[in-house]
Amino acid sequence: MADQQRSQLAARLTRPFAGLMATTYRWVDERLGVTDLVHQLLYEAVPRRGAWAYSLGSATLILIVNQIVTGMFLLWTYVPSTTEAWESLNFTERHDEFGAIVRGMHLWGAYVLFVVIGLHMVRTFVSGSYKKPRELNWIVGVVLFLMVLGLGITGAMLPWDQAAYWTATVVTHVIAYFPIFGTQLQEILRGGTQMGPATLTRFFAIHIWLLPAILVPLIGLHLALLRRHGEHGSWVNYEGVEEETEADRAHRMAHAEAPYPALPSDPGYAVPVDLDEFFPSQVFKDSVVSFGLVLLIFVMAVVVGAPLERAANPAALNYVPTPEWFFLPLDQMLVQFPQAWMIPVGVFIVPGIGTTLLILVPFLDRTPGREPWRRPEVMVPGLFVVLFLIFEAMLAVNRLFNL
């Protein structure tokens, strides 16, 4: 059969289906407005310069989706009971290859998430993205960061091996020092005055639905605020705005594409000088970065996997618990305080002040402009905090592993 005849026949055979699909799509679209929604989500302006650095936010989002999806698969085999949690994971590790990879992806996904969310925070801090009108985006971000830390620590308790049991013991011990209602909080979390079966059930519930139920809508709010004000990007998109004439500025504002101009904003920073399309430009860069990270997680899950220590043994008092690496700076700070101050100062006062300052960053930073070198008042303390945390983590590694 000639090529032309073949394609005519194919067209005749598929026409009824193409017609049916088009009619079905129109029916659904009239009722749900899918086309409008897709257009709203994909077609908008974003800053062109420094675009790769702005892929950290979407990478954080994809990594959280990875946690939710792998978490749901884990629920198919994991049994949240002190007598069976370890057994169920031990079975997975030994006899269920797919389950072991999923478990590895959940653990390595969490590790990569901590790094990427940290970099996203550093990026938005350095570029002064928290300045007017994006103050609330930053504050929601800080709360998201705390939620993710909470998910990390509650997750670490779930395998109910030695590491998990002693993590739960230490965390619920420390909680009792919380001002005013510390003891009540401890009892609620332990499900009694002592550690027991209810402790695991409580942390399981907090991990799989309570924290995610707060996290997911907050991410929605973070993204809605992002859409409302547009991506600020970084100072490289606003070079020359201060020398700009009034007429040039008015022209830039008048010809801005949605969602710009970001109002209320300092006039110079309401519209990036150089704009690009979110789709396909930014979406392509976001996809490359996110795909690379998911691939890395998969490789780590296959090659290294997730460890499982011996089953929890409350009688093994000589066991020295080592905290998850993302809590190493806090662990180190604790041992540096005198015994009596250790928990109140090390766990509540210093981290409490640190978190409050972090939330207040948009209101404390009164510097004009967004270039980091013109904001030494915030950049120097910020750099000091990051170096301090790295230094404390190194000291902790040295202490715990005798390097």
Contacts to ligand HEM by CB under 6 A: 54, 56-58, 60-61, 64, 67-68, 71-72, 74-75, 78, 89, 103, 106-107, 110, 113, 117, 120-121, 124, 127, 129-130, 134, 137-138, 141-142, 144-145, 148, 151-152, 155-156, 158-159, 207-208, 212, 219, 222, 226, 231-233, 306
Indicate the residue among 219 and 301 with the shorter CB distance to ligand HEM: 219
Indicate the residue among 163 and 343 with the shorter CB distance to ligand HEM: 163
Of residues 158, 154, 170, 172, the one with CA closest to residue 212: 154
Q: How far apart are CA 72 and CA 64, in angstroms?
A: 12
> Please, what's the largest Cα pairwise distance for the chain?
90
Indicate the residue among 78 and 252 with the shorter CB distance to ligand HEM: 78
Residue 43 to residues 46, 137, 278: CA-CA distances in angstroms? 10, 22, 6
User: Taking the complex as a whole, how short is the minimal distance between the CB of residue 224 and ligand HEM, in angstroms?
Assistant: 11
Buried b (16+ CB within 10 A) or exposed e, 209-235: ebbbeebeeebeebeebbeebbbbbbb
Q: How far apart are CA 393 and CA 331, in angstroms?
A: 8
User: Taking the complex as a whole, how short is the minimal distance between the CB of residue 299 and ligand HEM, in angstroms?
Assistant: 17
Q: Which helix (H) or strand (E) holds 11?
A: helix 3-32
User: Taking the complex as a whole, how short is the minimal distance between the CB of residue 242 and ligand HEM, in angstroms?
Assistant: 19
> What number of H helices and E strands is found in the chain?
16, 2
Indicate the residue among 155 and 268 with the shorter CB distance to ligand HEM: 155
DSSP state of 47: E
Indicate the residue among 117 and 294 with the shorter CB distance to ligand HEM: 117
User: Taking the complex as a whole, how short is the minimal distance between the CB of residue 37 and ligand HEM, in angstroms?
Assistant: 18
Q: Which residue has the tokens 């790295």?
A: 390
Indicate the residue among 120 and 190 with the shorter CB distance to ligand HEM: 120
Q: Any bridge partners for residue 161, and if so which?
A: 311
User: Taking the complex as a whole, how short is the minimal distance between the CB of residue 169 and ligand HEM, in angstroms?
Assistant: 16
Indicate the residue among 342 and 383 with the shorter CB distance to ligand HEM: 383
Indicate the residue among 142 and 395 with the shorter CB distance to ligand HEM: 142
User: Taking the complex as a whole, how short is the minimal distance between the CB of residue 26 and ligand HEM, in angstroms?
Assistant: 32
Indicate the residue among 69 and 395 with the shorter CB distance to ligand HEM: 69
Counting beta carbons within 10 angstroms of the beta carbon of residue 165, is it exposed (0 to 12), middle (13 to 18) or buried (19 or more)? buried
Provide the CA 340 distance to its chain's centre, in angstroms.
35
User: Taking the complex as a whole, how short is the minimal distance between the CB of residue 396 and ligand HEM, in angstroms?
Assistant: 18
DSSP structure string for 95-142:
H-HHHHHHHHHHHHHHHHHHHHHHHHHHHHHHTTTTSTT-HHHHHHHH
- Single-letter amino acid, residue 313: N
User: Taking the complex as a whole, how short is the minimal distance between the CB of residue 52 and ligand HEM, in angstroms?
Assistant: 10
With H, G, I as helix, E, B as strand and everything else as coil, classify residue 340: coil
Q: How far apart are CA 304 and CA 224, in angstroms?
A: 38
Rounded CA Rg of the chain: 26
User: Taking the complex as a whole, how short is the minimal distance between the CB of residue 131 and ligand HEM, in angstroms?
Assistant: 9
Indicate the residue among 6 and 227 with the shorter CB distance to ligand HEM: 227
User: Taking the complex as a whole, how short is the minimal distance between the CB of residue 142 and ligand HEM, in angstroms?
Assistant: 4
Residue 348 to residues 171, 175, 354, 397: CA-CA distances in angstroms? 13, 9, 10, 23
Nearby residues of 349 by Cβ (< 8 Å), 6 or more positions away = none
Indicate the residue among 138 and 260 with the shorter CB distance to ligand HEM: 138
User: Taking the complex as a whole, how short is the minimal distance between the CB of residue 241 and ligand HEM, in angstroms?
Assistant: 15
Angle at 349 between CA 167 and CA 189, to 5 degrees: 35
